[in-house]
Amino acid sequence: HFPKNNLTNLYVKQIIDSLHIDVIGLQEIESNSYFNNLLDSLGDNWNGFRSGGINSGWGELSYIINTSNIEVVSNPYTILNDNSYYFSYRDPYVLEILYNNENLVLINIHYKCCDGHEDRRLQASLILHEYINLNYNNSKVIVLGDFNDMLTDAENNIFSPFLSDMNNFYFTDFPIANSSNEFWSFPSWPSHLDHILITNELFNYVVDTQTVLVDWSLIGGLSAYDTYV
């Protein structure tokens, strides 16, 4: 949830400044004013977008973009609005950008959480898989965000629409999901619920996917991260 307290923006700015970031996809951004304050603190070469209205207190999907390296082709937009229930009323948020003369489509998602909602997450995957194939068939697509489920479940895997179509889709963080939980996105649980999915137009572009352990650089470690970020 953003922000957690009045020091959240300070810590987030320090993290962003310490990394060479072009685009950040965010979830659970509850305060539009805090989000705008963060953008202002980052400087003139940063831009951001948050889904939902300016008065929304809902945990919205958002983007932060370094405009020194990224050209925003058009303002972000939501898709699959008629299927909001399956996406936990957080409609996928699309950002089209130009990077190194390549057009990219980013889809920020936040699936429904918790045990007992696997069918809902599976339906979200089925719907999203079909939508990408129909609407972005020849585009370089990156789906990123909090999928709230494990890639490696042997049974009832909610990612089956994508995993059964590996000629067209690939989770770039699959090696992380199969490695030590030290590098999982939610190591204190432990679980690895945040993923990056790409379409085959990008298969030859992937160099590496990492979990950035920013808590290692904070005094207090993961506890400080959980408190402030």
The pLDDT mean for the chain works out to 92
pLDDT of residue 219: 64
pLDDT of residue 188: 67
pLDDT at 184 over 90: no
pLDDT tens per residue, range 205-225: 987 899 887 766 666 665 766
pTM for the predicted model, two decimal places: 0.93
Q: Which long-range contacts (CB under 8 A, 24 or more apart) does 209-218 make?
A: 209/172, 209/173, 209/175, 209/176, 210/176, 210/183, 211/173, 211/176, 211/183, 211/184, 211/185, 212/19, 213/183, 214/15, 214/18, 214/19, 217/18, 218/11
H-helix segments, 3-142: 8-18, 32-42, 118-135
pLDDT tens per residue, range 84-121: 999 999 999 999 999 999 999 999 999 999 988 999 99
pLDDT at 80 over 80: yes
* pLDDT-above-70 percentage for the chain: 93
pLDDT tens per residue, range 151-168: 999 899 999 999 999 999
